[in-house]
Structure 1
């Protein structure tokens, strides 16, 4: 097995993460001059990644490791060049200008700051970083982005985004995906890669622990093929995007089958990985539901999350074994995050409670090689912390 396969088997093992470490900056401290978001990108970024809680894109542990670098051509209301998006202030930070013949249109390169997720999840963090990237691409797709690339060559992405070859003591960012925010030329990434890299962000005094260094090595080694595909996001009202949240159980009611099929169909259509739908057992019965397992049976595999005993159904992405080709490992995790992100938006639109479930381990129940899941249900009692009528 390769080091990546060993790392995936380790992430799926029952070994718990080590003690927490500092998560670092919520937003990378790039030194650029702030600019307002161009008007034609304002709605898209506000509905996808913007907001003081970094919503509506879901994130494991609400740690939000995904960063966005915008490559803006000369058809914008800011000078053409590279910009880092600050989702908390909804501002662009200039990272380098480009000439008037820069590629037209707007492309987003998504990177991750691994420390934020490693701070709590340790050796289990790097698959979650891939899932979070998929959720961010789903959020952009739902807001109107037409195309995305879940497996772009990492060296090409880094050069196109102008990431520094030497971070000089700053927390590095690792590129994982690209999204076209507006139409543009097919060779946009290659043309942006021809520009010189920008300056690094402000340095940090923190010493990276071994688990973080190992995560950096994994993220730097992921292969890619740079295949663009349509986002295929469902058309939903803005309210479905801004109201999407990870619901707190209990929501044990099993949704109507027609609603569950709509959610599953969204995931299948937008993320070509194996999906399985599991439903809760009815009270007072011991019969196994369709699929041979109930959500509660998988709690031990989901890092012991007992909340799975309080949900009505579970949509599971699976089928990526520990020894899968590295390109498949990367692609399947990003696709699963993308599919769950879109499925959750549809579930919200249909009035269902939902919650993404990551960090899966090996175990005897349910489908093998679980990558990601979406818990679904109907509330049968008020959410915790509310008054009963």
Structure 2
């Protein structure tokens, strides 16, 4: 991946600030719960074609009603998000073989409808490409200078939600977490990075970060990048008027644009189910996965913890390493061991959870959590492209680990905000080499686990 040195410096400074203990300022308005687009609304009821987009989105990104027949909640969604703010937007690039006619669409998760924004190119690839963007102000409104890493993690969770929903319904999914912002915006029919305000003044900017390509079945041969064909179409319909971001939101947007400034071609890789065997179906796990409220006491059984760690480790072809802090009679850090899949391997001794509670914005309940999975790595000298890819991959891996934990009856809660969390230095190693990127608390089975309903 080739990135301008200036972008590396800008991102390195922003990452040091996000990792610091400097407190966040007062909250600012988050803005609307979703972007409103001016295109023609289209129903997502089942239609012609083997790929049912309504069902795919209902299982992945749709908000759910507070009660039967009632309004949809901005928080009740089947994908985790820091602070329940849900900044991730989905642009559907629909080709042949889908329940919607080919074209560009923006998805509204509260109405569970699509807005048609423009036509499809004549050579549009089969299936749908979902370009994931973020509205930075949603997260910056509460997290300030710490927002942009959380925006990356949230996008990784959303990418996993789409990919796992596709697999749960027998479809094929592949992802890119390193496509250039110029490529993503051109495909989605959005203004190029840095030009949103001049092209669509008076509207709220979005920043593209990743894409997921879903097809009804696995292709017979390797496919070219599906974004290329869509990039030949001009910008599509703009959104309705919306608020400008706060200074913190604008700053987060600048960092995100710098992270995605690359001349390298996009790397695509195939999604795979995070678990197999005797667990319930992936669809069941998706339906029942929720962030559990604290406390999350009760250490998971060794076999369950090993499976969850392995799911995080194996989710993506790259990303940070994963370990877990445990308590009990022998507290310490453990990791998955391919040679002993039922037993985590101990890599450090000593009680780490109280320190983790301080590092995680003083969330004191972590001190007694059953286990705390940790994605760790990203040294101070990491280039911008790696920082982007590994944060996205960490969110993706945490989502896959959550589904595995849910299938085994465990309770989980993602932990995305970490300050001064230099795990390597705390273990006696050199400073600035092994930072905590993401976390996932896990606790032993509640009384209403899946095994009670088999």
TM-score (ref. length: structure 2): 0.79
> Of residues 169, 188, 200 in structure 2, which corresponds to 1:167?
200
In the other structure, the counterpart of 2:240 is: 202
Matched, 1:47 2:59: yes
Q: Which residue of 2 aligns with 1:277?
A: 324
Deviation at 1:151, TM superposition (A): 0.9
Alignment counterpart, residue 360 of structure 2, candidates 288, 302, 327: 302
Map Cα deviations across residues 283-314 of structure 1 (whole Å, 9 max, x no partner). xx8x6565344322211111111120231101
Q: Distance in 2 between matches of 1:76 and 1:363?
A: 45
- Aligned residue number for residue 378 of structure 1: 444
Quote the residue 2:135 is aligned against: 113
Cα distance in structure 2, aligned partners of 1:334 and 1:288: 27
1:217 aligns with 2:217: no
Q: Distance in 2 between matches of 1:45 and 1:276?
A: 32
| Mapping 1:210-249, distance limit 5 Å | 210-223=247-260, 224=262, 225=264, 226-234=266-274, 236-249=281-294
Query: What displacement does 1:125 show?
Result: 0.2
CA distance in 2, matches of 1:102, 1:364: 46
CA contact (8 A) 1:251 1:379 kept: no
**SS in structure 2 of the partner of residue 233 of structure 1:** coil
Q: 1:28 aligns with which of 17, 35, 38?
A: 35
Q: CA deviation at 1:363?
A: 4.1
Distance 1:358 1:98 in 2: 37
Partner of 1:179: 212
- Which shifted more, 67-76 or 115-124? 67-76
CA displacement at 1:93 relative to structure 2: 0.6
Is it true that 1:328 corresponds to 2:355 in the alignment?
Answer: no
Given that 1:249 and 1:310 are in contact with CA atoms closer than 8 Å, whether structure 2 keeps it comes out as no
Shift of 1:169: 1.8
Residue 351 (1) aligns with residue 398 (2) = no
CA distance in 2, matches of 1:318, 1:234: 20
Between 114-123 and 43-52, the greater mean CA deviation after superposition: 43-52
Q: Which runs of 5+ in 1 are unaligned?
A: 383-389
1:251–1:311 contact (8 Å) kept in structure 2: yes
Task: Specify whether residues 161 and 303 from structure 1 end up closer, same or farther in structure 2 by C-alpha distance, changes over 3 A only.
Answer: same
CA-atom RMSD in angstroms: 2.1
Q: What is the match of residue 169 of structure 2?
A: none
Query: Match of 2:359, SS?
Result: coil
Matched with 1:256 is 301
Match of 1:361 in 2: 419
| Structure 2 CA distance for aligned equivalents of residues 263 and 87 of structure 1 | 29
Residue 100 of structure 1 deviates from its aligned partner by 4.3
Question: 1:68 touches 1:111 (CA, 8 Å); kept in 2?
Answer: yes
Residues in 1 aligned to 2:269 and 2:410: alpha-carbon distance in whole angstroms: 29
Aligned to 1:62: 84
Please state whether the residue corresponding to 2:92 is helix, strand or coil. Answer: strand
d(CA) in 2 for partners of 1:277, 1:243: 23
| Higher mean displacement: 128-137 or 362-371 | 362-371
Instruction: Kindly state the Cα deviation for residue 92 of structure 1 after the two structures are TM-superposed.
Output: 0.8
Using the alignment, how far apart are the partners of 1:108 and 1:207 within structure 2?
25
| CA distance in 1 between partners of 2:128 and 2:383 (Å) | 32
Given that 1:108 and 1:180 are in contact with CA atoms closer than 8 Å, whether structure 2 keeps it comes out as yes
Q: CA shift at 1:364, angstroms? A: 5.9
Question: For 1:159 and 1:63, how far apart are their aligned partners in 2?
Answer: 27
Range moving further from structure 2, 299-308 or 236-245:
236-245
1:197 deviates by 0.4
Hey, what does 2:69 align to over in structure 1? none
Work out whether residues 203 and 244 of structure 2, in 8 Å CA contact, stay in contact via their aligned partners in 1. no
Alignment-derived partner of residue 386 in structure 1: none
Change (3 A) 1:252 1:294: farther
* Correspondence for 1:385: none
* Structure 2 residues without counterparts, runs of 5 or longer: 1-7, 47-51, 65-74, 167-171, 193-198, 276-280, 334-345, 428-433, 449-454
Distance in 1 between residues matched to 2:419 and 2:121, nearest whole Å: 49
Q: Higher mean Cα deviation, 316-325 or 111-120?
A: 316-325
Q: 1:363 to 1:50 in 2, by over 3 A?
A: closer
Question: What per-residue deviation string (whole Å, max 9, x for no partner) do you get for residues 82-124 of structure 1?
Answer: 0011112111110111254433321100000000000000000
